[in-house]
Amino acid sequence: MSFQAYLDAVEDTSGLTPRALLEIAQSRGYDDPSVKAGVILDWLKTDYGLGRGHGMAMVHVIKKGPSIDAKHVDSGGSHSDASDTLWLDGKATKPA
């Protein structure tokens, strides 16, 4: 599953776009460098029913933004992504 596919599944499970979840996380201060991933994972599980894998995808976005390492772009593997920038605005608005 690509990184982007994880974020698309986050939207399916939570009913919110990754950007909406990012904004909520920022309003709660979860983007602060001192906040540990476990705190964010607990919040995402409790409030939105996200499991560890999908939660960790959101932790990455909350802590590091929408960029991913270029080694994952068109790598041909099961985790290959089409771009080094993740789409956070929801599946319905994703460019074709």
> Is 74's pLDDT higher than 90?
no
Instruction: Give 69's pLDDT tier (boundaries 50, 70, 90).
Output: confident
27 inside domain: yes
39 inside domain: yes
55 inside domain: yes
pLDDT tens readout for residues 21-59: 999 999 999 999 999 999 999 999 999 999 999 999 999
Locus of tokens 């599946």: 91
86 inside domain: no
Asked whether 30 and 70 are in contact (CB, 8 A), the reply is: no
84 inside domain: no
Single pTM value for the model = 0.90
The domain of 18 spans 1-66
The domain tally of the chain equals: 1
61 inside domain: yes
58 inside domain: yes
21 inside domain: yes
